[in-house]
Amino acid sequence: MIEARGLTKRYGEKVAVEDLSFTARPGVVTGFLGPNGAGKSTTMRMILGLDRPTRGEVRVNGLRYQDMTDPLCQVGALLEARAVHTGRSARNHLLALAQTHGISARRVDEVIGLAGLTDVAGRRVGGFSLGMGQRLGIASALLGDPATIILDEPVNGLDPEGIRWIRNLLSQLATEGRTVFLSSHLMSEMALVATHLVVVGRGRLIAQTSVADFIAAASPNTVRVRSPQAIPLREALAGHGVTITATGEDTLEITGRTNEEIGEAARACGIALYELTRHQVSLEDAFMDLTRDAVEYHATNAPAPAGASAGRRSAAHAGVAA
Ligand SMILES: Nc1ncnc2c1ncn2[C@@H]1O[C@H](COP(=O)(O)OP(=O)(O)OP(=O)(O)O)[C@@H](O)[C@H]1O
């Protein structure tokens, strides 16, 4: 469990993180999202005792990092995959780390296997590819069998097989009851692995919610229906507060009716349906919509539109912090 309360970090005049409170719970993968410069790395560094909060505090498993006697066994972290002694072999690097916490050589070989590094464990880390470095970083994070795992951009440099491996690994770690907290700029990847989100912008909390609610809140309330009898179906569904637009010969876009209502109305009239789909935006679209005002630097050819969009307004209603 990670609990941040009123976490604030200033660098001189610059406020990197401001009054940030959130909880990452055991048993789920929590994605930590935010535009560039939103304060994610600073927050992760404070969780790991690498930066001292200006105000507030953050605890892992109820403890501040600096109060842990066996940090490697409490919280495993991957922040900078390249920050290892490049002259050592992967196994020796892990053995040296293990010795600082009285962790057995057997556990070292276990995590080498888990990370898929068995064939290269004797090779110098200096010759490792970015993907192998990531795997070694993840092996280091898991060495102490910690209840909480924090990973900054864990799929960085991994090939498709490696990405699938880490996706399965993170889900497995959460299923075992661990707290998994990770940042990534790859929204499609985050949508596949995380079930909960903490979203920050300009150092402040924007949202703390499930991925499903985050996407639902940003999605228009539209159902797409395809039927060979679109005209009688349209007549059957017409009513107060219902908008129906024909977008093709056999296709209708409907707002104001649920999937169930449409399905039941079609059945009652003996109308066949070929498709009945609630329109959902991608996590990337929801993220872009919600964080548009929190982006520090916009590309000059894509200025931020003024005012809140419908998506952002509805996101605020779904337990999303203002
Ligand atoms: N040591 C520092 N001194 C001054 N400003 C800093 C320092 N570290 C971070 N910042 C500033 O604090 C803000 C938050 O930075 P941080 O690296 O935490 O963001 P981030 O969300 O991790 O960004 P990215 O997605 O680009 O990695 C940025 O504006 C950054 O320039």
What atom in ligand 1 is closest to the CA of residue 35? 25
Looking at the structure, tell me whether residues 230 and 184 fall in a common domain.
Answer: no
Residue 215: partners with Cβ closer than 8 Å, 6 or more residues away: 191, 280, 281, 282, 283, 286
Signed CA dihedral, 43, 49, 50, 52: sign only: positive
Pairing of strands 2-11, 14-24: antiparallel
Ligand 1 centroid – CA 35 distance (Å): 11
Q: So what's the pLDDT on residue 295?
A: 67
Looking at the structure, tell me whether residues 70 and 88 fall in a common domain.
Answer: yes
- Which CATH number is 229's domain given? 3.30.70
Q: What is the number of structural domains in the chain? A: 2
Ligand 1 centroid – CA 231 distance (Å): 56
Looking at the structure, tell me whether residues 257 and 171 fall in a common domain.
Answer: no
Ligand 1 centroid – CA 36 distance (Å): 8
Domain with 246 in it:
220-278
Q: So what's the pLDDT on residue 320?
A: 41
Pocket of ligand 1 (CB under 6 A): 11, 14, 16, 34, 36-42
pLDDT values of the chain reduced to their tens digit, one per residue, 322 residues? 999 999 999 999 999 999 999 999 999 999 999 999 999 999 999 999 999 999 999 999 999 999 999 898 999 999 865 556 678 899 999 999 999 889 999 999 999 999 999 999 999 988 888 888 889 999 999 999 999 999 998 888 888 888 999 999 999 999 999 999 999 888 888 999 999 999 999 999 999 999 999 998 888 889 999 999 999 999 999 999 999 999 999 999 999 999 999 999 999 999 999 999 998 899 999 998 888 876 665 554 444 444 334 333 333 333 344 3
Pairing of strands 222-226, 75-78: unpaired
Q: So what's the pLDDT on residue 321?
A: 41
| Structural domain includes residue 311 | no
Q: So what's the pLDDT on residue 299?
A: 52
Residue 86: partners with Cβ closer than 8 Å, 6 or more residues away: 124, 125, 126
Q: So what's the pLDDT on residue 297?
A: 55
Tell me which of 189, 215, 241 is where a domain ends: 215
Looking at the structure, tell me whether residues 34 and 72 fall in a common domain.
Answer: yes
| Structural domain includes residue 243 | yes
Looking at the structure, tell me whether residues 251 and 136 fall in a common domain.
Answer: no
What atom in ligand 1 is closest to the CA of residue 41? 22
Ligand 1 centroid – CA 11 distance (Å): 9
Looking at the structure, tell me whether residues 168 and 38 fall in a common domain.
Answer: yes
In contact, 5 and 17? CB cutoff 8 Å: no
Pairing of strands 2-11, 55-60: antiparallel
| Structural domain includes residue 21 | yes
Looking at the structure, tell me whether residues 36 and 107 fall in a common domain.
Answer: yes
Q: So what's the pLDDT on residue 184?
A: 87
What atom in ligand 1 is closest to the CA of residue 203? 14
| Structural domain includes residue 157 | yes
**Phi and psi of 102, rounded to 5°?**
60, 30
Q: So what's the pLDDT on residue 17?
A: 97
Stated pTM of the model: 0.83
Tell me which of 215, 237, 266 is where a domain ends: 215
Around 309, how many Cα atoms within 13 Å sit in the side-chain half-sphere? 18
| Dihedral angle, C-alpha 200, 281, 186, 5, nearest 10 ° | 20
ipTM of the complex: 0.97
Nearest CA to ligand 1 atom 29: 37
- Which CATH number is 105's domain given? 3.40.50.300
Tell me which of 199, 215, 231 is where a domain ends: 215
| Structural domain includes residue 320 | no
Q: So what's the pLDDT on residue 155?
A: 86
Looking at the structure, tell me whether residues 236 and 203 fall in a common domain.
Answer: no
Ligand 1 centroid – CA 263 distance (Å): 50
Looking at the structure, tell me whether residues 48 and 87 fall in a common domain.
Answer: yes
| Structural domain includes residue 293 | no
Looking at the structure, tell me whether residues 35 and 180 fall in a common domain.
Answer: yes
Looking at the structure, tell me whether residues 78 and 204 fall in a common domain.
Answer: yes
Looking at the structure, tell me whether residues 202 and 228 fall in a common domain.
Answer: no
Nearest CA to ligand 1 atom 4: 11
| Structural domain includes residue 305 | no
| Structural domain includes residue 319 | no
- Per-state percent for the chain, helix, strand, coil, to nearest 5: 40, 25, 35
Residue 304: partners with Cβ closer than 8 Å, 6 or more residues away: 292, 293, 295, 298
Ligand 1 centroid – CA 301 distance (Å): 24
